[in-house]
Structure 1
Amino acid sequence: MSSQPIRIVVIGGSAAGPKAAAKARRLDEHAAITIIQKEADLSMASCGYPYYAGGVFDDRNLLICTPAGIVRDSGFFEKAKRIEALVLTEALSIDRAAKTVTCKHLPSGATRTLPYDKLVIATGATTLYPSVPGADLEGILSLHSLEDADALRAVRDAKQVRNAVVVGGGLIGFEVCEALHLAGIQTTVIEKTAAILPFLDAELSKLVANYVRTHGADIIKGNGVAAFLGEDGKLTGVKLDNGTELPCELAVVAVGVRPNATLAAAAGLTIGALGGIAVNEFMQTSDPDIYAGGDCVECTSLISGAKVRAPYGDLANLQGRVIGENLITEGSAKFPGVTHTGICKIFDYTVGFTGLSAEQARAAGMTDIETVTVAGLDIPGYMNGKLLVSKMVADRKTGRVLGFQCIGPGDVSKRVATMAMAIRGQLTIADLANADLPYAPPYSLALDHVIVCAHVMENKLLGRMKGISVTEVKARVDAGADCFILDTRTPREFEEQRLGIGETLIPQGALRARLNELPPDKDREIIVYCAISLRGYECAAILQGYGWRNVKVMEGGVAAWPYPRER
């Protein structure tokens, strides 16, 4: 006689929940599996919302389809996976003693109690809204649900909104900014802190901001929303903390999310210090028969060891897969933690990151770090290579890579993916310096961008190069520091664009013949640069060879300079 099939109840039908249910089904054909989903849709591709809202594609069903084009609705889950999916149904409570979940069908109000042997909580997160006057006005949206995406798409298609604001300068905020731009809507991004894209260090963040402004969008930093303004219940503008009023008919809030942990907390499960459900490496909660995954949980940083929140769709799917395996074979799969890897498209730029920024590393107590900023092409110029600007963070003592940021119109994704695996594998700069990566002109330089980053970092760690960031150079100039600034580009490059910081032009090829034009004091600070500072580095070596002792290379060169320039 066969044993009773295991009863699995999954609360949440977006990413982690359906993934856990599907994995469990693949491992056990006879398990009784039920998904409780508050929304009308299931297994939504939420990262595609901005592109649907912006009109990149028109078929809404593409967000809820399988690769074969089949809509993942209740019927699909029943027929293809033999999983009961209760949509428009809210989980009200969990009785851990009785091992039941009580839920309510929202349209009818009918309640139902479901028994479980194993329970999965994948309740996601809720959009944070500014607690300011006027927050209930018509015209204030977010982009967290498919319903939100439908609303934004309707705004685009109606073509009645002329001005919009995006509240929040993170990944979602700029994806929304691009979507609104595609719809012909004049958009302003409002960020309360001093910098946009908080996972980037300041220099790269400023470069992205400069680029966004070239597309006609505005960015206001260091200024939050004090109130939403309206007439007859409809949004007409926003008032900023400094009193400035901006007219707009649409505001999209993208200031972050809060884990939906209320149901878990009410059931007596442990909630972490960051507000997410506490789980172990098996994705078990404090109750071993209850698992949790996705935006509602806290994860472990594989770099710092600290608890973090990582509300990303790919991680939710990875966690769901681990949960599904452990539902059937407990303890067979682990989710060790995250390196915090992300990427987004902003117009023709890509912004990617993995690991810790320098600021984050220092905040985590990692004070003995080294950084390098490198600019260069993704593929050779004769193959129409495009610019990349990157910043790498490493531990000085061990050489271990701690973080990597990359921006630009070039192929950012390949470089971030490479560095994400380097960080995951705890590789050092020495490992990367001789990495055997694929090379052919359509795909890479002979020395790929990440290898060049490693070489520059190695030169710094070994004392062969003294680097200085563009931020430090700007501070020196503004303070009137006694430094000699040397531009080693060609006269043509200099005439086309100069920084206007009191620089002296001596092209690399003429440097040895013009050493008499340099400061006679061999201890005076000399800052050298070129377009990307490769020539700058070579010229620094020349000067050091002739006795100058305080030569620094401005990392990233002109390409990394985020401040006003002379034309």
Structure 2
Amino acid sequence: MAKPRILIVGGVAGGASCAARARRLSEAAEIIIFDRGQFVSFANCGLPYYVGSVIADEKKLLVANSDLFKQRFNIEVRLQHEVTAIDRAAQTLTVKNLQTGELKQEPYDALVLSPGAAPIRPPLPGIERPGIFALRTIPDSRRIREWIDTHQVKRAVVVGGGFIGLEMAENLVHRGIAVTLIEKLPQVMPPFDPEMMTPVHVHLRDQGLQLCLNDGVQGFTVGSEDNLLVQTDSGEQHPADMVILAIGVRPENTLAKEAGLKLGDRGGIRVNAAMQTSDPHIWAVGDAVEVQDFVTQEWTLIPLAGPANRQGRIAAETILGRDSQFRGVQGTSVCGIFGMTVACTGASEKTLRRVGMDYRKVYLHPGHHAGYFPGAQPIDIKLLYAPADGRILGAQAVGREGTEKRVDVLAMAIQAGMTVFDLEEAELCYAPQFGAAKDPVNMAGMIAANALRGDAPIVYWEDLDLAQVNLVDVREESEFERGHVAGAINVPLSQLRQRMGDLPGDRPLWIYCQVGQRGYFATRTLRQSGFDAYNLTGGFKTYEASTGA
């Protein structure tokens, strides 16, 4: 195709990136973006912060506009134009001008579908009542802001504890609104393992959020004060001046389905590594497509901006003759929650169990920088790895400053196929206000590598059976008295060498301290003295998170 006509349906992350990349590769191509909305290339990840007035100027959400696309890239953008049908045999689109109602046929050499995903609105009783919103577009954010202002909203219910739900909850609180968050699962942030969210639940409640977990919404009615009542499975009724639905999204697959393109089991458009659909003249990118998980090789839906942008670039490159392939998704993501940061990459333990992949895990709770420098804050880290070779499978972290930095390093390590032994040797930035000579990433690798070598084998709290092992707490007596695991023997590390005779030798010794470091020291000492000793990874802090103690 010397002068290809490239038509793109949808002009946000994936579609806009595809268009710009295509122009950089070909001055000859004719490139047209169709979008049924009023805006092109806007930052939908910033919408909750616009609702919360953290971002005060709506124009800041506009990454680009139609004029910029035309002037800088010679790309035509047709807003408020809805593509209603694809004729694959004729290679044409039917496009409706939403302002005039006019229908027009548009031929293409290459077609890129980037329709995104739509918020889920389940058919619950009363869900169409005024004051119930979902957030996906700039007009959505305008309607929510207007409702808050005109109805002087004091109480809100957010349904769903994922990324958008938590960001909306924070931003509503920022505007002085009392928020109840309802989540059907026993935890917020479903991509994470449940024990990693225990401190997040505490933090949310400390911020004044009413957190209702393990409780789904049944419907919406009107209360005696003419406000909304949110009814849940448990029988509770939560009054609200407005409701935000943040239950999730589903891929916009109508065009693809009606055109007979292959869809995956999850309803997304099925593509190959070149982002090509089952039709060789049609590509698809972004939230509407199913892609393969980099770790598990499962087909999945990952509605994230980073992968969408990369997919758009790859589609443009393959359309214009380059050999480019998408590597898959790791689900690398981060969320800020009232000053706390949660981040993850790769597979969770829940996922690894479900797909039957063998794994091991370590927990650690290091400071985000050197402890002697003022202001050090702990980061709770969970690292998952393969026992056969130490290959890194996933990571999760919860903390404050520096949390996402560590997950970014681990995300690159996963993509490069690195192991925990590589993490031991990773050379990372160090100054006392930024990290430590042994960075938390190094420490995670060292703990896992020591376990794989057999130097300090680790065990897990969920496997503890006091009928089979002897549990030893090596914290100081004052720590033990403030709280300990029932059935534990207290032998402080500072007295361990003198009191080895007090330790029973009839069963394996499972050792724990507060976060795992002293337990490691004790395990090494005991194993070299003939004891069958194991360190409980993450220590008492992980025990409390795992059990909710």
Task: Give the TM-score normalised by the residue count of structure 1.
Answer: 0.90
2:48 match: 50
Mapped to 2, the partners of 1:15 and 1:347 lie a distance apart of 27
Q: Percent identity?
A: 36
> Which letter maps to 2:366?
G
Q: Does 1:279 align with 2:287?
A: no
Kindly state the Cα deviation for residue 158 of structure 1 after the two structures are TM-superposed: 5.4
- CA offsets 1:448-484 (integer angstroms, 9 cap, x no match): 11111111111222233343445556xx6xxx76865
Which stretch of structure 1 is more off in the superposition, 504-513 or 310-319? 504-513
1:68 match: none
2:544 match: 561
Structure-2 change in CA distance of 1:504 and 1:30 (3 Å): same
Corresponding residue to 1:371 among 361, 369, 391: 361
Instruction: State whether residues 84 and 94 of structure 2, in contact with CA within 8 Å, keep that contact through their aligned partners in structure 1.
Output: yes
Instruction: State whether residues 388 and 412 of structure 1, in contact with CA within 8 Å, keep that contact through their aligned partners in structure 2.
Output: yes
Q: Does 1:151 align with 2:143?
A: yes
Kindly state the Cα deviation for residue 338 of structure 1 after the two structures are TM-superposed: 1.2
Kindly state the Cα deviation for residue 197 of structure 1 after the two structures are TM-superposed: 1.6
Kindly state the Cα deviation for residue 303 of structure 1 after the two structures are TM-superposed: 1.4
2:59 match: 61
Instruction: State whether residues 499 and 558 of structure 1, in contact with CA within 8 Å, keep that contact through their aligned partners in structure 2.
Output: no
Q: Does 1:265 align with 2:251?
A: no
Instruction: State whether residues 223 and 229 of structure 2, in contact with CA within 8 Å, keep that contact through their aligned partners in structure 1.
Output: no
Mapped to 2, the partners of 1:382 and 1:4 lie a distance apart of 63
2:494 match: 509
Which stretch of structure 1 is more off in the superposition, 421-430 or 146-155? 146-155
Mapped to 2, the partners of 1:445 and 1:33 lie a distance apart of 50
Kindly state the Cα deviation for residue 237 of structure 1 after the two structures are TM-superposed: 1.6
Mapped to 2, the partners of 1:157 and 1:507 lie a distance apart of 59
Instruction: State whether residues 516 and 535 of structure 2, in contact with CA within 8 Å, keep that contact through their aligned partners in structure 1.
Output: no
Kindly state the Cα deviation for residue 385 of structure 1 after the two structures are TM-superposed: 1.8
Aligned-CA RMSD value: 2.4
Instruction: State whether residues 421 and 449 of structure 2, in contact with CA within 8 Å, keep that contact through their aligned partners in structure 1.
Output: yes
1:304 match: 296
Q: Does 1:540 align with 2:523?
A: yes
Mapped to 2, the partners of 1:258 and 1:379 lie a distance apart of 40
Kindly state the Cα deviation for residue 216 of structure 1 after the two structures are TM-superposed: 1.4
1:385 match: 376
Mapped to 2, the partners of 1:410 and 1:254 lie a distance apart of 27
Mapped to 2, the partners of 1:116 and 1:284 lie a distance apart of 15
2:30 match: 32
Structure-2 change in CA distance of 1:145 and 1:232 (3 Å): farther
SS at match of 2:286: coil
> Which letter maps to 1:539?
A
Q: Does 1:117 align with 2:124?
A: no
Structure-2 change in CA distance of 1:252 and 1:499 (3 Å): farther
Mapped to 2, the partners of 1:86 and 1:232 lie a distance apart of 47
Q: Does 1:488 align with 2:463?
A: no
Kindly state the Cα deviation for residue 525 of structure 1 after the two structures are TM-superposed: 5.3
- CA offsets 1:232-253 (integer angstroms, 9 cap, x no match): 9975121111211111122211
> Which letter maps to 1:6?
P
Mapped to 2, the partners of 1:193 and 1:564 lie a distance apart of 16
Instruction: State whether residues 377 and 410 of structure 1, in contact with CA within 8 Å, keep that contact through their aligned partners in structure 2.
Output: no
Kindly state the Cα deviation for residue 302 of structure 1 after the two structures are TM-superposed: 1.7
Corresponding residue to 1:416 among 404, 407, 418: 407
Mapped to 1, the partners of 2:442 and 2:2 lie a distance apart of 56
Structure-2 change in CA distance of 1:163 and 1:482 (3 Å): farther
Mapped to 1, the partners of 2:531 and 2:273 lie a distance apart of 54
SS at match of 2:19: helix
2:11 match: 13
Mapped to 1, the partners of 2:396 and 2:506 lie a distance apart of 34
2:179 match: 187
Kindly state the Cα deviation for residue 531 of structure 1 after the two structures are TM-superposed: 2.9
Instruction: State whether residues 281 and 336 of structure 1, in contact with CA within 8 Å, keep that contact through their aligned partners in structure 2.
Output: yes
Mapped to 2, the partners of 1:400 and 1:25 lie a distance apart of 39
Paired residue total = 547
- CA offsets 1:146-196 (integer angstroms, 9 cap, x no match): 222223333555582222222112222111121122122222221212332
1:357 match: 348
> Which letter maps to 1:489?
R
SS at match of 1:252: strand
Q: Does 1:198 align with 2:184?
A: no
2:335 match: 344
Mapped to 2, the partners of 1:482 and 1:155 lie a distance apart of 61
1:449 match: 440
Mapped to 1, the partners of 2:491 and 2:165 lie a distance apart of 43
Mapped to 2, the partners of 1:558 and 1:272 lie a distance apart of 41
Corresponding residue to 1:531 among 509, 514, 522: 514
SS at match of 1:352: strand
Instruction: State whether residues 287 and 303 of structure 2, in contact with CA within 8 Å, keep that contact through their aligned partners in structure 1.
Output: yes
SS at match of 1:282: coil
Q: Does 1:168 align with 2:160?
A: yes
Instruction: State whether residues 468 and 555 of structure 1, in contact with CA within 8 Å, keep that contact through their aligned partners in structure 2.
Output: no
Q: Does 1:465 align with 2:456?
A: yes
Q: Does 1:406 align with 2:397?
A: yes
Mapped to 1, the partners of 2:459 and 2:129 lie a distance apart of 49
> Which letter maps to 2:371?
G
Kindly state the Cα deviation for residue 136 of structure 1 after the two structures are TM-superposed: 0.5
Kindly state the Cα deviation for residue 493 of structure 1 after the two structures are TM-superposed: 5.0
Mapped to 1, the partners of 2:387 and 2:542 lie a distance apart of 26
Structure-2 change in CA distance of 1:452 and 1:560 (3 Å): farther
SS at match of 1:454: helix
1:69 match: none
- CA offsets 1:477-518 (integer angstroms, 9 cap, x no match): xxx7686554433456567x53474655543223333445x4
Mapped to 1, the partners of 2:476 and 2:4 lie a distance apart of 73
Kindly state the Cα deviation for residue 93 of structure 1 after the two structures are TM-superposed: 0.6
Instruction: State whether residues 294 and 328 of structure 2, in contact with CA within 8 Å, keep that contact through their aligned partners in structure 1.
Output: yes
1:207 match: 199
Which stretch of structure 1 is more off in the superposition, 20-29 or 151-160? 151-160
Kindly state the Cα deviation for residue 80 of structure 1 after the two structures are TM-superposed: 2.1
Kindly state the Cα deviation for residue 404 of structure 1 after the two structures are TM-superposed: 0.7
SS at match of 2:143: helix
Structure 1 residues without counterparts, runs of 5 or longer: 66-71
Kindly report which structure 2 residues correspond to 1:70-149, keeping only aligned pairs within 5 A, or say none: 72-149=64-141
Instruction: State whether residues 138 and 233 of structure 1, in contact with CA within 8 Å, keep that contact through their aligned partners in structure 2.
Output: no
- CA offsets 1:318-337 (integer angstroms, 9 cap, x no match): 1111112222x224322121
Structure-2 change in CA distance of 1:441 and 1:183 (3 Å): same
Instruction: State whether residues 46 and 313 of structure 1, in contact with CA within 8 Å, keep that contact through their aligned partners in structure 2.
Output: no
